Structure 1
Amino acid sequence: MTSLFERPQDRPLADRLRPASLDQVVGQDHLIGPSGPLGRMLAAGRLTSIILWGPPGCGKTTIARLLADRTDLHFEPLSAVFSGVADLRKVFDAAGKRKEAGRGTLLFVDEIHRFNRAQQDGFLPFVENGTVVLVGATTENPSFELNGALLSRAQVLVLKRLDDDALDALITRAEAELGRPLPLAEDSRAALKAMADGDGRYFLNLIEALSILPSEPALDSAQLAKVVQQRAPAYDKDREGHYNLISALHKSLRGSDTDAALYWMARMLEGGEDPAYICRRLTRFAVEDIGLADPNAAVQALAAWDIFERLGSPEGELAIAQLVVYLGTAPKSNAAYTAYKAARKAAKQTGSLMPPMHILNAPTRMMKDLGYGKDYQYDHDQADGFSGQNYFPDGMARQRFYDPPERGFEREVRKRLEYWDRLRAKKQNS
């Protein structure tokens, strides 16, 4: 509630510019537009429980409050960070009394993923009997953080980080509210939007920091950086962002897009990721996605890892960048990876088949009498160094697991395999 003595300009800019209706919300037209899920719910006059999943500052709380206004529901805000079971009981009791009096309740739970599994289960009966319409907000992937039972009763709606058009709309509204343009040159306006990183609330706080400056002279990008503090990229090393970025790095390398891979690597390092983790994943990439197409890839990966551990940060990051360039430009093959999976599948299917007797050692007289090692042909005694004997279990047909492509070094490996195949066929037919 506004104090009698409080002037409008004393309120934070973000509060003054808070949308008064859903059509003033920027950047989320895919949800609140006429064809969006919230737009269709409102048109039908029936709001169901939802989970709003999106990054900070994209409008989750604002949308929840405006949904309550549009549907004439009592808005009951709750933060999972500061609330417990006792608070939930009070909320549900009050909502039950409102229901008896003929008015519904929109229960908005911020950071809903902070509630444990048992607390989340506590929502279920009150959602099912209509005591509350639950609107949960979370920055974390609901499929990881929320109970399946709760997810089955609430539609998950994904909010987007604010794009340039949405941020342009905010800066226009801010300048109208302030009654004058911000002291920004064209390049610094773009830099200011980049600093916001899609967070509308943070963007308005940056604008408010600039609003105390005179309109002239206009700041360039370098001057802007001195005036406002650039925020660190949104990145949580043990949550979904961590897995999203390593997936982006891995798939960019697999697609031989070296520049994109360098970008994702830099994003991870700027976000505070442990360089040793990146080295471990790049080493895995070298054997999974390059393999024998370039056997030196694994050597380069281990060398970069070793260099980083010896040099430390920040000099060691250059070795990681060099490795990313090497892996991105190397020929790609998952033939060895595919062969390993196929061999494992065959091993599970064939169970405990014994090796053929001729390739078993006979360290005792009894084993020799039983036929262990009988008729074994020592390959080095052959003129061509190849016996062509069978090494698969008796009763198991020979299988081809490793099928190298005509790429990189594996082109030569394929020639070797074809050579052994020809020799094997020749010896078996002789």
Structure 2
Amino acid sequence: MADLFADELPPPGTPDDLREDAPLADRLRPRVLEDVVGQEHLTGPEGAIGRMVAAGRLSSMILWGPPGTGKTSTARLLAAAVGMRFHAVSAVFSGVADLKKAFAEADVAAKAGQRTLLFVDEIHRFNRAQQDGFLPFVERGTVTLVGATTENPSFALNAALLSRAQVLILHRLDAAALSALLDKAEDLEGALPLTAPAREALVASADGDGRFLLNQAETLYAAKIAAPLDPAGLGQFLQRRVAVYDKDRDGHYNLISALHKSVRGSDPQAALYYMARMLTAGEEPLFVLRRLVRMASEDIGLADPQALVQCLAAKDAYEFLGSPEGELAIVQACLYVATAPKSNAAYAAFKSSFKAARETGSLSPPANILNAPTKLMKDIGYGKDYAYDHDAPDGFSGDNYWPDEIGPQVYYEPVERGFEREVKKRLEWWDKKRAERREK
């Protein structure tokens, strides 16, 4: 079958595929699944992939993980491990014609008794209609689909495709896994021209991306550096990897979620960290400010009414100063909301009152609080017996303001924190006065 299908290649890193001038990352590609570093939760004996390989049969799957974590290598080695033909396409460069050709070749291979693993890199870049095109071929077993994506499959892939494939999550490579990759590089190329602290700094600079780390190592080897570099020298020689952050995708939503929950949890240090992560990665400062304003209402409310004022003032200050001076105002607002007393009473009142408004429709307020600008309105009872609060003792009449059909309701329940403690006392006093009025 190898003569029939040009796309059927041996796993990278085997002697048939190895070139002396190939990039270091290619020369160090794992030859067997056990060599894939950092993903033992999948490739180990108890992992989903390990179990499938042991059984000798693969199900369709989506490999989801950050760049440089071994998605492509894992897919190709999977095919070799179970004796399947491997065919790869990229959603960046392939179209409908390429997919039709791949499916046709898979049909021919199936008739010859050979199963096909179709690897689709960047599968999230196919639109919904193109993704639907995989379904009949996956369902009848023409191909076993292995898709790779850096995007959250819940948002990037359609439900029909997800229902026919397992989603397997590849982890960002930790320091141990990255260090193991450098060990492999040094076994092949010799010791890196780095001090021990500089080697640690090199690992940290990769930000979990194994491919980036090996490319950096290759640059160091090519430079023929005489004396080992310390961390400062390494920093001058190499650039740090830019943080992965797509402003309209997972990085964006994950970090704003972390910032919001850190503020809600009154951890100003963590809140500052996630806010700084977003801003240094290029997030729009006004987006961060909008979220802080939301937190001031949702998680603080009347426990500290100044929180909303502080956030809006920070927005004005940022627009007045611009970057980078204006970022300090954002920091101040972030610290204020993170350290303020917390209450979601206003947020809960918002949800419950809006729900009641939707459910009760067009109930009329009681007649005594309706305006009566005409004689007819007065004759039918509008405004009759209205109690003017400023004329009442203590400036409080205790009158009824609710439609007869539902009676008094409770939506807002202040907490015993911050300024809301005083609001709670006030409400309790008014409730007591209303009860006394009803008893008369």
TM superposition score category, shorter chain reference = over 0.9
Deviation at 1:322, TM superposition (A): 1.3
* Contact persistence 1:113–1:145 (CA under 8 A): yes
* Equivalent residue for 2:172, pick from 161, 181, 201: 161
Partner of 1:357 in structure 2? 367
* 1:270 and 2:280 matched: yes
Which amino acid is the alignment partner of residue 253 of structure 1? Answer: V
Deviations along 1:52-97, one digit per CA (max 9) or x if unpaired, are 0111000000000000101111110100011111111111111100
Partner of 1:241 in structure 2? 251
* Equivalent residue for 1:426, pick from 428, 432, 436: 436
Partner of 1:79 in structure 2? 90
* Contact persistence 1:98–1:105 (CA under 8 A): yes
Deviation at 1:215, TM superposition (A): 6.3
* Equivalent residue for 2:220, pick from 183, 186, 210: 210
TM-score (norm 1): 0.97
Deviation at 1:111, TM superposition (A): 0.5
1:5-154 superposed matches below 5 A: 8-154=19-165
Go from structure 1 to structure 2 and tell me whether the alpha carbon gap of 1:7 and 1:386 turns closer, same or farther (over 3 Å shift).
Answer: closer
Deviations along 1:291-331, one digit per CA (max 9) or x if unpaired, are 11111100100011111111111111111111111111111
Q: Distance in 2 between matches of 1:216 and 1:28?
A: 35
Deviation at 1:188, TM superposition (A): 1.9
Q: How many residue pairs end up in the alignment? A: 427
Which amino acid is the alignment partner of residue 429 of structure 1? Answer: E
Go from structure 1 to structure 2 and tell me whether the alpha carbon gap of 1:9 and 1:101 turns closer, same or farther (over 3 Å shift).
Answer: closer
Which amino acid is the alignment partner of residue 76 of structure 1? Answer: H
Which amino acid is the alignment partner of residue 108 of structure 1? Answer: F
1:296-307 superposed matches below 5 A: 296-307=306-317
- Secondary structure of the structure 2 residue equivalent to 1:211: helix
Deviations along 1:100-148, one digit per CA (max 9) or x if unpaired, are 0010111000000111111111111111111111000011111111111
Q: Distance in 2 between matches of 1:221 and 1:355?
A: 73
Deviation at 1:203, TM superposition (A): 0.7
1:281-292 superposed matches below 5 A: 281-292=291-302
* Contact persistence 1:31–1:38 (CA under 8 A): yes
Which amino acid is the alignment partner of residue 212 of structure 1? Answer: A
Which amino acid is the alignment partner of residue 272 of structure 1? Answer: G
Q: Which runs of 4+ in 1 moved over 6 A?
A: none
TM-score (norm 2): 0.95
Which amino acid is the alignment partner of residue 374 of structure 2? Answer: T
Deviation at 1:349, TM superposition (A): 2.4
More displaced stretch, 370-379 vs 187-196? 187-196
* 1:410 and 2:402 matched: no
* Contact persistence 1:109–1:136 (CA under 8 A): yes
Structure 1 unaligned regions, length at least 5? none
Deviation at 1:287, TM superposition (A): 0.7
- Secondary structure of the structure 1 residue equivalent to 2:119: strand
- Secondary structure of the structure 2 residue equivalent to 1:403: coil
* Equivalent residue for 2:387, pick from 356, 377, 393: 377
* Contact persistence 2:118–2:146 (CA under 8 A): yes
Q: Distance in 1 between matches of 2:333 and 2:232?
A: 32
Deviation at 1:213, TM superposition (A): 4.2
Q: Distance in 1 between matches of 2:358 and 2:217?
A: 62
Deviations along 1:213-262, one digit per CA (max 9) or x if unpaired, are 45653222221111111221100001111111100000011011111111
Deviation at 1:7, TM superposition (A): 9.2
Which amino acid is the alignment partner of residue 23 of structure 1? Answer: E
Go from structure 1 to structure 2 and tell me whether the alpha carbon gap of 1:7 and 1:37 turns closer, same or farther (over 3 Å shift).
Answer: closer
Go from structure 1 to structure 2 and tell me whether the alpha carbon gap of 1:130 and 1:28 turns closer, same or farther (over 3 Å shift).
Answer: same
Q: Distance in 1 between matches of 2:30 and 2:255?
A: 33
**CA RMSD of the aligned region, Å?**
1.6
Which amino acid is the alignment partner of residue 133 of structure 1? Answer: T
- Secondary structure of the structure 1 residue equivalent to 2:314: helix
Partner of 2:192 in structure 1? 182
Which amino acid is the alignment partner of residue 264 of structure 2? Answer: R
Which amino acid is the alignment partner of residue 150 of structure 1? Answer: L
* Equivalent residue for 2:290, pick from 275, 280, 283: 280
Deviation at 1:25, TM superposition (A): 0.3
Partner of 1:388 in structure 2? 398
Which amino acid is the alignment partner of residue 56 of structure 1? Answer: P
Partner of 1:259 in structure 2? 269
Q: Distance in 2 between matches of 1:248 and 1:368?
A: 57
Percent identity, please. Answer: 64
* Contact persistence 2:18–2:27 (CA under 8 A): no
Q: Distance in 2 between matches of 1:111 and 1:344?
A: 42
Q: Distance in 1 between matches of 2:103 and 2:264?
A: 51
1:304-323 superposed matches below 5 A: 304-323=314-333
